[in-house]
Amino acid sequence: MIFFLHIQSESNYFIADSRAQQTLNGVLAAGRSGVSFFFILSGFVLAWSVRPTDTASRFWWRRFSKIYPNHFVTFLIACLLLSWRGMEVIDFERMFYNLTLLHSWPPEQGDVWYSFNAPSWSLSCEAFFYLSFPLLYAWLRRLRPAAWWAIAAASVVFIAVLPIGIKVFHEPFGWSEHFIVYHLPPVRMVEFLLGMCLALLVRGGWWRGPGMTVSIAVVLAGMAVAAFLSEEYGLARDAACTVLGYSLLLPACALADVRRSRSIWRAPLLVYLGEVSFAFYMVHEICLYAVRHTFGDDHPHRPTAAAGVLVLATFCFALVAAMVLHHAVELPMMRLLTGRGRRASGAGASAGGDGAGWPGEGKAAAPQPVAATAV
């Protein structure tokens, strides 16, 4: 959905008629909720799989090993593409913000947010989440399940009312709604925290919610509402309309996996696509840029059979590029940086910890997964 959102929003690729374009943009705009889903999922997965004996430094190093090599390589590729187009690449301020994963922080600087490889702005938020995770997790572990429920519910409400609330409170800051609701890491942290609470509830056996069928229906209903809401609600509308569905869907999928229920997501092909999805996210807009400028497709047009073939070819190109990035950069660098390839005990060895645990964690017992297959 993010791929098709970008291919339409950047070049009106599918349709040029203004009315039809407006409708299509509304439908594809739900793809923006994919970033919200990604943030919630990130908090869920990290809280789900945390090891009680782990240390903050080892956790941070594993996160760095996972995301930074892909970011750095796609940054270099983006520089080459921009140079090929005859555009100015050497801008030390933008390079500094981008390479230090701080490029989502400067207010009202779109040229910094979307510098070089535009989708990487979300990694700036993720870096902030990762930095905060040890303290957040230690704090949440001290709370009772009722508090996890309360935080999760408050997070859903906050995200749902943000499109309206921001219109009341953003003026004193002098910042745009776009920056506050879409880019500012502390605001997006609410989605990450929501995912953490959901994971703790499921791990502890406290979760009560519908299964995948109902959850998917709620997600689709939220996307339908987002598609037809006025643009007046801005970029926060998509997350606001889908946050409830995503909050139901993630626990439902996790429980289905733990219980070994029948699930399409366990199909080997989809598991593999999930493994390369981060690489796909990092390369897809680079591939769109390369194809557009290679074929000189800088103008909107009506859909044709040739255009449809080009869209499919571009998607396949991005997928192949993602597979190459995943196998040639992401996996080898994770093994190299974490030392997993040299340790006989495999993944567990890289997280063994020295018993120090998370900062400020105390001796509270960690919530246990509901089954051995949970992690």
- DSSP one-letter string for 255-277: HHHHTT---GGGSHHHHHHHHHH
Residue 91 domain-assigned (yes or no): yes
Q: What is the pTM of this model?
A: 0.84
Count the Cβ atoms, other than its own, within 10 Å of residue 113.
Answer: 22
**CA dist 240 to 76, 123, 198, 275, 367, Å?**
35, 21, 17, 27, 29
Has residue 52 got a pLDDT over 90?
Answer: no
The residue ranking higher by pLDDT, 342 or 50, is 50
Confidence of residue 144 (pLDDT cuts 50, 70, 90): very high
What one-letter code names the amino acid at 20?
A: A
pLDDT at 65: 94
- Region of poorest pLDDT, from 20-24, 41-45, 344-348: 344-348
The residue ranking higher by pLDDT, 265 or 187, is 187
pLDDT at 359: 47
Average pLDDT estimate for 110-118:
88
- Residue-range definition of the domain harbouring residue 246: 2-344
Q: Which residues are within 8 A (CB) of 188 and not within 5 positions of it... i.e. 6 or more apart?
A: 39, 125, 129, 182
Q: Check if the beta carbon of residue 120 is closer than 8 Å to that of residue 71.
A: yes
pLDDT at 351: 32
Has residue 290 got a pLDDT over 50?
Answer: yes
103 exposure class (CB count in 10 Å sphere: 0-12, 13-18, 19+): buried
Residue 349 domain-assigned (yes or no): no
Long-range contacts of 307-313 (CB under 8 A, 24+ apart): 307/13, 307/14, 311/7, 311/13, 311/14
Mean pLDDT score of the chain, rounded to an integer? Answer: 81
Confidence of residue 105 (pLDDT cuts 50, 70, 90): very high
Residue 71 domain-assigned (yes or no): yes
Taking only the tens place, the pLDDT of each residue in 309-323 is 777 888 999 999 999
Taking only the tens place, the pLDDT of each residue in 188-227 is 999 999 999 999 999 999 999 898 899 999 999 988 888 7
Residue 150 domain-assigned (yes or no): yes
Local structure of residue 231 (DSSP, 8 states): G
Has residue 305 got a pLDDT over 80?
Answer: no
Has residue 108 got a pLDDT over 90?
Answer: no
The CA distance from 127 to 237, in Å, is 24
pLDDT at 63: 94
Residue 350 domain-assigned (yes or no): no
The number of distinct structural domains making up the chain is 1
Residue 177 domain-assigned (yes or no): yes
Q: Check if the beta carbon of residue 243 is closer than 8 Å to that of residue 158.
A: no
pLDDT at 90: 77
Residue 371 domain-assigned (yes or no): no
The residue ranking higher by pLDDT, 2 or 120, is 120
Residue 367 domain-assigned (yes or no): no
